[in-house]
Amino acid sequence: MGGMNITEALVAEHTVLLQLFDHVESELLGIASLESLQLLARIIERLLHSHGEAEEDLVLCALDHSLEDQGRRERFHQEHQELDERFKQLQTATDLETARRLFYGALQASRKHFRFEEESLFPFASRVLGKDILLELGQFRALAQAEIESDGITR
Protein backbone atom coordinates (compact mmCIF):
# COMPACT_ATOMS: atom_id res chain seq x y z
CA MET A 1 0.00 0.00 0.00
CA GLY A 2 1.54 3.30 -1.10
CA GLY A 3 0.54 6.89 -0.86
CA MET A 4 1.03 9.72 1.56
CA ASN A 5 -0.07 9.65 5.13
CA ILE A 6 -2.39 12.46 6.20
CA THR A 7 0.28 14.67 7.73
CA GLU A 8 2.47 14.32 4.62
CA ALA A 9 -0.53 15.21 2.44
CA LEU A 10 -1.37 18.25 4.55
CA VAL A 11 2.26 19.44 4.54
CA ALA A 12 2.27 19.04 0.74
CA GLU A 13 -0.86 21.23 0.63
CA HIS A 14 0.93 23.77 2.86
CA THR A 15 3.81 23.85 0.38
CA VAL A 16 1.47 24.63 -2.52
CA LEU A 17 -0.44 27.23 -0.50
CA LEU A 18 2.80 28.91 0.63
CA GLN A 19 3.96 29.17 -2.99
CA LEU A 20 0.60 30.73 -3.85
CA PHE A 21 0.98 33.19 -0.95
CA ASP A 22 4.45 34.19 -2.20
CA HIS A 23 3.09 34.85 -5.67
CA VAL A 24 0.08 36.79 -4.38
CA GLU A 25 2.28 38.94 -2.17
CA SER A 26 4.56 39.74 -5.09
CA GLU A 27 1.53 40.92 -7.08
CA LEU A 28 -0.40 42.64 -4.27
CA LEU A 29 0.82 46.16 -5.04
CA GLY A 30 -0.10 45.74 -8.70
CA ILE A 31 -3.75 44.97 -8.03
CA ALA A 32 -5.57 48.11 -9.05
CA SER A 33 -9.07 47.65 -7.67
CA LEU A 34 -10.59 46.73 -4.35
CA GLU A 35 -12.97 44.32 -6.07
CA SER A 36 -10.11 42.42 -7.75
CA LEU A 37 -8.20 42.15 -4.51
CA GLN A 38 -11.28 40.93 -2.62
CA LEU A 39 -12.01 38.35 -5.34
CA LEU A 40 -8.48 36.98 -5.06
CA ALA A 41 -8.83 36.88 -1.27
CA ARG A 42 -12.11 34.91 -1.57
CA ILE A 43 -10.37 32.34 -3.76
CA ILE A 44 -7.56 31.89 -1.24
CA GLU A 45 -10.06 31.84 1.62
CA ARG A 46 -11.93 28.96 -0.08
CA LEU A 47 -8.71 27.01 -0.55
CA LEU A 48 -7.80 27.53 3.10
CA HIS A 49 -11.30 26.60 4.23
CA SER A 50 -11.20 23.32 2.32
CA HIS A 51 -7.73 22.58 3.70
CA GLY A 52 -8.84 23.46 7.24
CA GLU A 53 -11.88 21.19 6.99
CA ALA A 54 -9.61 18.28 6.08
CA GLU A 55 -7.39 19.03 9.08
CA GLU A 56 -10.36 19.22 11.41
CA ASP A 57 -12.24 16.24 10.00
CA LEU A 58 -9.28 13.90 9.66
CA VAL A 59 -6.61 14.90 12.14
CA LEU A 60 -8.38 16.76 14.92
CA CYS A 61 -11.23 14.29 15.24
CA ALA A 62 -8.73 11.46 15.61
CA LEU A 63 -6.73 13.45 18.18
CA ASP A 64 -9.59 15.19 19.97
CA HIS A 65 -9.06 13.96 23.53
CA SER A 66 -5.28 13.91 23.35
CA LEU A 67 -5.15 17.47 22.03
CA GLU A 68 -7.51 18.73 24.70
CA ASP A 69 -5.21 17.33 27.36
CA GLN A 70 -2.26 19.11 25.74
CA GLY A 71 -4.03 22.47 25.25
CA ARG A 72 -3.33 22.30 21.52
CA ARG A 73 -6.95 21.78 20.50
CA GLU A 74 -8.05 25.22 21.69
CA ARG A 75 -5.08 26.90 20.03
CA PHE A 76 -5.78 25.13 16.75
CA HIS A 77 -9.46 26.16 16.73
CA GLN A 78 -8.63 29.69 17.86
CA GLU A 79 -6.12 30.14 15.04
CA HIS A 80 -8.58 28.80 12.44
CA GLN A 81 -11.22 31.23 13.72
CA GLU A 82 -8.70 34.09 13.65
CA LEU A 83 -7.82 33.31 10.03
CA ASP A 84 -11.51 33.22 9.08
CA GLU A 85 -12.03 36.56 10.80
CA ARG A 86 -9.06 38.15 9.03
CA PHE A 87 -10.46 37.17 5.63
CA LYS A 88 -13.94 38.41 6.60
CA GLN A 89 -12.49 41.79 7.62
CA LEU A 90 -10.73 42.00 4.28
CA GLN A 91 -14.07 41.53 2.51
CA THR A 92 -15.58 44.47 4.39
CA ALA A 93 -12.68 46.84 3.71
CA THR A 94 -13.80 49.99 1.92
CA ASP A 95 -10.48 51.08 0.47
CA LEU A 96 -7.73 49.33 -1.44
CA GLU A 97 -4.85 50.15 0.92
CA THR A 98 -6.69 48.80 3.97
CA ALA A 99 -7.60 45.66 2.03
CA ARG A 100 -3.96 45.17 0.97
CA ARG A 101 -2.79 45.53 4.56
CA LEU A 102 -5.43 43.07 5.78
CA PHE A 103 -4.61 40.62 2.98
CA TYR A 104 -0.92 40.72 3.80
CA GLY A 105 -1.73 40.16 7.50
CA ALA A 106 -4.01 37.23 6.69
CA LEU A 107 -1.28 35.58 4.62
CA GLN A 108 1.30 36.09 7.38
CA ALA A 109 -1.08 34.65 9.99
CA SER A 110 -1.70 31.65 7.71
CA ARG A 111 2.05 31.06 7.41
CA LYS A 112 2.43 31.21 11.18
CA HIS A 113 -0.43 28.74 11.63
CA PHE A 114 1.12 26.32 9.13
CA ARG A 115 4.40 26.45 11.10
CA PHE A 116 2.52 25.62 14.32
CA GLU A 117 0.87 22.64 12.64
CA GLU A 118 4.10 21.37 11.11
CA GLU A 119 6.23 21.87 14.22
CA SER A 120 3.71 20.87 16.89
CA LEU A 121 0.44 19.33 15.72
CA PHE A 122 1.62 16.98 12.98
CA PRO A 123 4.53 15.47 14.94
CA PHE A 124 2.11 14.97 17.86
CA ALA A 125 -0.36 13.24 15.50
CA SER A 126 2.43 10.97 14.27
CA ARG A 127 3.29 9.92 17.81
CA VAL A 128 -0.30 9.43 19.01
CA LEU A 129 -1.97 7.91 15.95
CA GLY A 130 0.84 5.85 14.49
CA LYS A 131 1.87 5.05 10.95
CA ASP A 132 -1.06 2.84 9.92
CA ILE A 133 -3.81 5.25 10.99
CA LEU A 134 -2.01 8.21 9.41
CA LEU A 135 -1.70 6.29 6.14
CA GLU A 136 -5.37 5.30 6.24
CA LEU A 137 -6.42 8.92 6.83
CA GLY A 138 -4.17 10.01 3.96
CA GLN A 139 -5.80 7.48 1.65
CA PHE A 140 -9.24 8.69 2.74
CA ARG A 141 -8.21 12.29 1.92
CA ALA A 142 -6.91 11.25 -1.51
CA LEU A 143 -10.12 9.35 -2.29
CA ALA A 144 -12.28 12.26 -1.18
CA GLN A 145 -10.31 14.68 -3.37
CA ALA A 146 -10.49 12.33 -6.37
CA GLU A 147 -14.25 12.03 -5.93
CA ILE A 148 -14.66 15.80 -5.75
CA GLU A 149 -12.54 16.28 -8.86
CA SER A 150 -14.35 13.57 -10.84
CA ASP A 151 -17.75 15.00 -9.94
CA GLY A 152 -16.60 18.49 -10.90
CA ILE A 153 -17.62 19.76 -7.49
CA THR A 154 -15.99 22.90 -6.16
CA ARG A 155 -16.49 24.35 -2.76
What percent of the chain stands above pLDDT 90? 61
Q: Rounded CA gap, 155 and 52, in Å? A: 13
**What torsion do the CA atoms of 90, 93, 99, 104 make, to the nearest 10 degrees?**
-30
- Each domain of the chain, given as residue ranges in start order, spans 6-149
**How do residues 91-142 score in pLDDT, each as one tens digit?**
999 999 999 999 999 999 999 999 999 998 899 889 889 899 999 999 988 8
The whole-number pLDDT of residue 70 equals 62
The answer to whether 120 touches 54, Cβ cutoff 8 Å, is no
Q: Please name the residues in contact with 79: beta carbons below 8 A apart, sequence gap of 6 or more.
A: 109, 113, 116
Number of C-beta neighbours around residue 121 at 10 A:
23
pTM for the model stands at 0.86
